[in-house]
């Protein structure tokens, strides 16, 4: 009996202390708990409203498109733009875009975003690169190569048929990346997004334009043979 009680206590402790990480199960409420209150709302007419203006009268006149937050990590300011399914506090996230004030290296991702690191290091994640547009949510000047991470798990519930996609706008010491073979743990991330995408998109592209590369987020990951871009000679550095 005592052993059973002790085992139950251990299970409860582990379940309560398990790491909570960012994903598309987040809502307006959980985003606020993690990153603080939003500072700005951009409505569907692209008009900005301060939090005070929006809560006083803006929500009566317009429909919210994007909520903007700001927080700091490792002394770096980070902007976060979030789109939700609707204005309900319990509505699920559709897209998130993180824009640090200065780029940081892939090898520092775990330190910068410990709540998101489980997504990119999950056994269900495939890290890849592509020469095609990966996300329309990336706003800064892009390299010709975009890095991504696909979490091959159905989101389920009302989002059944979707999976989680991360897209990274990458740079090489301030320069744009021209060939996926130059991506490594020292490559810089300028901005990144988390969004949901159809599972059919995942299945079609992982056998096509999305080329799997080594998971440089995880130092224990095994190397992957990186193919050259079809029909093009490797870019010169």
Residue 27 lies in a domain: yes
Is there a contact between 165 and 136 (Cβ–Cβ < 8 Å)? Answer: no
Phi and psi at 70, nearest 5°, equal -145, 135
* CA–CA separation, 80 and 193 (whole Å): 9
DSSP secondary structure code for residue 38 in this structure:
-
Tell me the per-residue pLDDT of 57-96, one tens digit each, with 9 for 90 and over. Answer: 999 999 999 999 999 999 999 999 999 988 888 888 889 9
Output the average pLDDT for the chain: 82
Closest by CA position to 94, among listed 117, 61, 64, 55: 64
Residue 54 lies in a domain: yes
Residue 222 lies in a domain: no
Phi and psi at 115, nearest 5°, equal -75, -20
Residue 234 lies in a domain: no
* CA–CA separation, 65 and 67 (whole Å): 7
Task: Indicate the number of domains in the chain.
Answer: 1
> pLDDT at position 237, please?
40
Q: Residue 201 sits in which domain range?
A: 19-212
DSSP secondary structure code for residue 58 in this structure:
I
Does residue 103 surpass a pLDDT of 80?
Answer: yes
Mean pLDDT computed over 198-213: 86
Q: Is the dihedral of CA 68, 135, 223, 186 positive or negative?
A: negative
Residue 9 lies in a domain: no
Mean pLDDT computed over 104-132: 93
Residue 133 lies in a domain: yes
Is there a contact between 152 and 163 (Cβ–Cβ < 8 Å)? Answer: yes
> pLDDT at position 11, please?
31
Residue 14 lies in a domain: no
> What are the structure tokens assigned to 149, written together?
């991470």
Q: Which residues pair with 33 in a beta bridge?
A: none
Residue 6 lies in a domain: no
Tell me the per-residue pLDDT of 5-29, one tens digit each, with 9 for 90 and over. Answer: 333 333 332 333 333 334 556 888 8
């Amino acid at each position: 009996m005592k052993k059973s009680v002790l085992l139950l206590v251990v299970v409860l402790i582990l379940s309560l202390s398990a790491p909570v990480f960012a994903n598309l199960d987040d809502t307006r409420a959980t985003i606020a708990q993690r990153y603080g209150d939003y500072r700005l709302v951009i409505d569907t007419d692209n008009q900005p409203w301060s939090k005070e203006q929006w809560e006083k009268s803006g929500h009566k006149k317009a429909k919210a498109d994007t909520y903007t937050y700001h927080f700091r990590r490792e002394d770096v300011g980070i902007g976060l733009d979030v789109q939700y399914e609707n204005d309900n506090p319990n509505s699920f996230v559709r897209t998130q875009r993180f824009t640090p004030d200065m780029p940081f290296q892939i090898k520092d991702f775990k330190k910068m975003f410990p709540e998101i690191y489980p997504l990119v290091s999950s056994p269900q994640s495939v890290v890849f690169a592509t020469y095609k547009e990966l996300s329309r949510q990336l706003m800064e000047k892009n390299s010709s190569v975009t890095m991504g991470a696909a979490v091959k798990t159905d989101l389920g519930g009302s989002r059944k048929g979707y999976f989680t996609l991360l897209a990274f706008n990458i740079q090489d010491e301030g320069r744009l990346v021209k060939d996926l073979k130059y991506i490594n743990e020292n490559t810089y991330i300028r901005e990144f997004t988390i969004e949901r995408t159809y599972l059919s998109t995942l299945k079609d592209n992982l056998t096509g334009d999305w080329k799997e590369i080594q998971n440089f987020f995880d130092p224990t990951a095994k190397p992957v043979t990186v193919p050259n871009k079809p029909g093009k000679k490797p870019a010169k550095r």
